Structure 1
Amino acid sequence: MDRSPGLSVRLRLALSYAGFLMVAGGLLLAVVWVFLLRYVPDDVVQAPQRGRPGLHGPTRSDLLAAFAPKAAIALGFLLVFGLIGGWILAGRMLAPLARIRDATRRAGSGSWGHRIHLEGRRDEFRELADSFDTMLGQLEDHLAEQRRFAANASHELRTPLAVTQTLLEVARNDPARDNGELVERLHAVNSRAIDLTEALLVLSKADQRSFARERVDLSLIAEEAAETLLPLAEKRGLTVETSGSVGSTFGSYALLLQMTTNLLHNAIVHNLPAQGGVRLTTSTHQDTVVLTVENTGRELTPHLVSTLVEPFQRGTGRIRTDHAGVGLGLAIVRSIAEAHGGSLTLDPRPGGGLRVTVRLPALTADVER
């Protein structure tokens, strides 16, 4: 934004300081003048004494002639002192602001690695600098995450395209090859590319928080997700249990259903080969609605669990099958939960498996209106 040049803040502070001193000095001199006038009449004549003639005492005009030059000198001194002292004090006070300004300019040019690290005790400037340092750290982490995500997404999207190209080249070099197998493999690769693209779109929509909000009952969403994925669970010999009370929140029904479906799908796919189970529970605690998804499975270390929410990350030993997903399931869940003002927590279960807890703000009367 183009702005016309104006006086610097330092100069304005110096002028304000000098002006305040001038006003305070003028008031002080006025008080002194009024005080002196009480004891000096307009014309005082001292009575003659023995051996001495009568003398005239000081008058107000004499007092004014003696007082005015001294008062002008004092006001001039206050003006010079106020300008010089105000300029020095303003410079010292605004020194931290100059460091913050330089940091913002560097950040505006694309440099995120620097920090202000303003010394001294906490005051307004220190709080501003600390807040700016925190913001720079968050932006740097977010930028690194976005770059890592873009690199992973490019890699994941490149894989099905490369496989498709390889299959087409094989078919072109071997015309006598059975096309039925080729078409089947191309269909599977293309379906995976479509699933990945749709997952990326859902993740982008959740990150941008561009969705309509309405009253949503998590218990009904959990039941719908369980009914949808029940055939997959039965095919794998797993049991799915849903329980809990009504848990109303305010958000997007489609995104929250996608979140719950992703959690249940992960719990089914990454489970025991047989005789395993999945449990969905909804509950309300004060101003929070909680959705918990637990599944049996192999034992997971806390370090491995902490990496599962990263995009395109899969647990060790997880085999990529037709239902393995594209590696964005929990990343989408976390983005949807955060877009609704909630949080996602992952904990390894004793004896194996995973417990995923999603906490969302409960629907209040104020929000509902």
Structure 2
Amino acid sequence: MRRAPGLSVRLKFTLSYAGFLMLAGALLLAAGWVFLIRVKHVGLIIDPDYKYAVLRALAPTAAVALVFLLVFGLLGGWILAGRMLAPMTRITDATRLAADGSLSHRIRLEGRKDEFRELADDFDTMLAQLEAHDAEQQRFAANASHELRTPLAITQTLLDVARTDPNLDTARLIDRLQVVNTRAIDLTEALLVLSRSNQRSFAREHVDLSLIAEEAAETLLPLAEQREISLDVTGETTRTVGSAALALQMVMNLVQNAIVHNIPAGGTVTVHTESQPDASVLRVENTGPQLAPDRVRTLTEPFQRGAERARTHEHVGAGLGLAIVHSIVRAHDGTLDLTPRPTGGLVVTVRLPRLKVLGE
């Protein structure tokens, strides 16, 4: 934003301080002059020439005093304003560095708490959050590029082989290309969902999490039966405000992860909904392999996959499932908690702001 040049804050403070000092001095001299012309020794003045004599005697001294106050006010005001605004100068320098892309700089203003130091501390906190977010975005962009490049590279390899091998099984080639293309489409759609939830660009409506849980379980029941996983939905009606489509995506991702990252056969997945005084709660619990707490804390980062991917050659997703869940929960002003089960598996608890109905 372009602005016309103006006086600096330091100069404004200096002029204000000097002006106030001059006004105080003038008022003090005026009060002294009034007192002198009204009183002579202990009685009232009745000689009209006395006041003019006092004025002639007082005027040169008053003029010198006012000039002294003006010089003293300007000099003292400039020094005091500079000392008072020194923290603001450091904050301004840090702001310019941040605008140039340097997010690692911190103000770290010394001294006791005041308005400037509160501003500096808040600015340091904001810089730390921006730096962490920028690093996260860079990691995400690098991982996304790698994930998207993989199916494209596989496709290119298959086409190169088909071009040089006249005896290649065309039907098998088409099947493999379809699998690779489906993976690329799923990854792209997941990235779009993640971007949409991060930007909070969705209409808000009343959402019943219990109905969402039942719909997700019904959709994924064939996958659970295929893997011999028991899938149950329990709990009560609980409502929140948000996007029904994103809420369904959130529950679908949680239930699908719970099914995929389970024991080979005979495992269980339980989806539970309940209403608490200040939150609508969705809990997804599943059996599965043992998970270390340090590992659990990283599962919501983009492109993080569970242990099953490392043990098998089966494709279990691009590692965006829980990252999308985390983003959707944040976009709905909720919280996400991941806790490893002592006997193996995971408990995922989502708390969203509760929509209270009439009569509660």
Does TM, scored on the shorter chain, surpass 0.5?
Answer: yes
1:66 maps to which of 32, 57, 61: 57
Residue 67 of structure 2 aligns with which residue?
76
The alignment status of 1:89 with 2:93, answered yes or no, reads no
Residue 32 of structure 1 aligns with which residue?
32
Instruction: Name the SS for the 2:271 alignment partner.
Output: strand
Residue 5 of structure 2 aligns with which residue?
5
- Work out the number of aligned pairs and report it: 353
Instruction: Name the SS for the 2:282 alignment partner.
Output: strand
Instruction: Name the SS for the 2:297 alignment partner.
Output: helix
**1:292, 1:358 within 8 Å by CA — same for their partners in 2?**
yes
> Which consecutive unaligned segments of at least 5 residues does structure 1 have?
45-57
Q: Deviations over 1:225-271 (max 9, x none)?
A: 01110111111111111111221111000001000000000000000
The equivalences for 1:338-349 within 5 A come to 338-349=330-341
Which TM-score applies when normalising by structure 1? 0.92
The equivalences for 1:100-139 within 5 A come to 100-139=91-130
**2:299, 2:305 within 8 Å by CA — same for their partners in 1?**
yes
Take 2:357 and 2:86, find their aligned partners in 1: how far apart are those partners?
Answer: 49
Q: Deviations over 1:55-110 (max 9, x none)?
A: xxx82222112122222221111111111100000000111111111111111111
Take 1:212 and 1:322, find their aligned partners in 2: how far apart are those partners?
Answer: 37
The alignment status of 1:300 with 2:291, answered yes or no, reads yes
Deviation at 1:323, TM superposition (A): 6.0
Rate the CA distance shift 1:323–1:284 in 2: closer, same or farther, 3 A.
farther
Q: Deviations over 1:162-214 (max 9, x none)?
A: 11111112222221122111111111111111100100010010111111110
- For the aligned residues, what is the CA RMSD? 1.6
Residue 226 of structure 1 aligns with which residue?
217
**2:94, 2:106 within 8 Å by CA — same for their partners in 1?**
yes
Q: Deviations over 1:125-155 (max 9, x none)?
A: 1111111111111111111111100110111
Moved over 3 A (4+): 319-323
Instruction: Name the SS for the 1:72 alignment partner.
Output: helix
The equivalences for 1:137-176 within 5 A come to 137-176=128-167
Residue 249 of structure 1 aligns with which residue?
240
Take 1:354 and 1:20, find their aligned partners in 2: how far apart are those partners?
Answer: 69
**1:269, 1:323 within 8 Å by CA — same for their partners in 2?**
no
Which TM-score applies when normalising by structure 2? 0.94
Take 1:124 and 1:364, find their aligned partners in 2: how far apart are those partners?
Answer: 39
Instruction: Name the SS for the 2:336 alignment partner.
Output: strand
The amino acid across from 1:89 in the alignment is L
**1:293, 1:355 within 8 Å by CA — same for their partners in 2?**
yes
Percent identity over the alignment? 66
Q: Deviations over 1:21-74 (max 9, x none)?
A: 111111222222222222142429xxxxxxxxxxxxx82222112122222221
Take 2:157 and 2:265, find their aligned partners in 1: how far apart are those partners?
Answer: 36
**1:221, 1:260 within 8 Å by CA — same for their partners in 2?**
yes
**Higher Cα radius of gyration:** 1
Take 1:365 and 1:62, find their aligned partners in 2: how far apart are those partners?
Answer: 86
The alignment status of 1:361 with 2:350, answered yes or no, reads no
**1:263, 1:293 within 8 Å by CA — same for their partners in 2?**
yes
Take 1:26 and 1:77, find their aligned partners in 2: how far apart are those partners?
Answer: 12
2:316 maps to which of 297, 306, 324: 324
Take 2:104 and 2:6, find their aligned partners in 1: how far apart are those partners?
Answer: 33
Take 2:277 and 2:334, find their aligned partners in 1: how far apart are those partners?
Answer: 14
Rate the CA distance shift 1:364–1:71 in 2: closer, same or farther, 3 A.
farther
